[in-house]
Amino acid sequence: MRIAIIGTGNVGRAIALGMADKGHEVMLGSRDPQSAHVVTLATDTGATPMLPDAAAAAGDVIFLALPWRAAESAVKALGSLEGKAVVNCMLPLGMIDGTLGLTVGYATSGGEIVQGWLPGAHVVETLGQVSAEIMARNDHLSRRPVMFMAGNDDGAKTQVAALLTDLGFEALDTGDITKSRLLEPYGMVWLNQALVRGKGRNWAFAAVEG
């Protein structure tokens, strides 16, 4: 698959590392494709650095790995992305009464807002319930981690599930994009355990069956 990763911070880097040697053509969409950290990441992963709109145009599947505060203008600048699978890794985070939390919820979600910015694209919400470190590598964990997805288009979810499998996750479909309302608070469960309760970043949720 041709994969575009928009944003080369913790999550963009992790997905690029996780996708290296999986047989995909990966484009890194960066505001500064010549910057040292982007060039190093490209060398380490075999990905091609580009400006964000060029990367998105070249990709079949586009991962959005941007800060929520910058997302609206950055995502709209990518163009319509008509018919493409767009993976929303972003949690709609902000400070609420001095505490990090979700700035939207209950009646909408970050996933639905991104779908509204890109009406012709097939947005799939996923990867918000784990650390970037575990996205990059998780074969040391005692169980295979689970990763939930939500989105309106079954074909896009099939594509994204295959990529989640490449990243080492068990992909589970939760339903349409409104299920992002469930997944984003679930991401906060991870954040609370990791950052507030002291569990750290080297763990993930697993689904076990009997």
Residue ranges binding ligand NAP (CB under 6 A): 7-12, 30-32, 38, 65-68, 70, 74, 89-91, 93, 127-128, 131-132
Closer residue to ligand NAP, CB minimum distance, 9 or 83: 9
**Residue closest to ligand NAP (Cβ):** 9
Closer residue to ligand NAP, CB minimum distance, 126 or 159: 126
Phi, psi angles (nearest 5°) of residue 98: 80, 5
Beta carbon of residue 102, minimum distance to ligand NAP (angstroms, whole number) = 10
Beta carbon of residue 169, minimum distance to ligand NAP (angstroms, whole number) = 13
Closer residue to ligand NAP, CB minimum distance, 42 or 121: 42
DSSP structural state of residue 178: G
Instruction: Report which residue type is found at 106.
Output: Y
Beta carbon of residue 21, minimum distance to ligand NAP (angstroms, whole number) = 21
Beta carbon of residue 84, minimum distance to ligand NAP (angstroms, whole number) = 19
Closer residue to ligand NAP, CB minimum distance, 41 or 121: 41
Other residues' Cβ atoms within 10 Å of the Cβ of residue 117: 18
Nearest to 30 by CA among 87, 79, 76, 78: 78
CA distance 184 to 171: 16
CB within 8 Å of 54: residues ≥ 6 apart: 27, 29
Instruction: Report CA Rg, the chain.
Output: 16
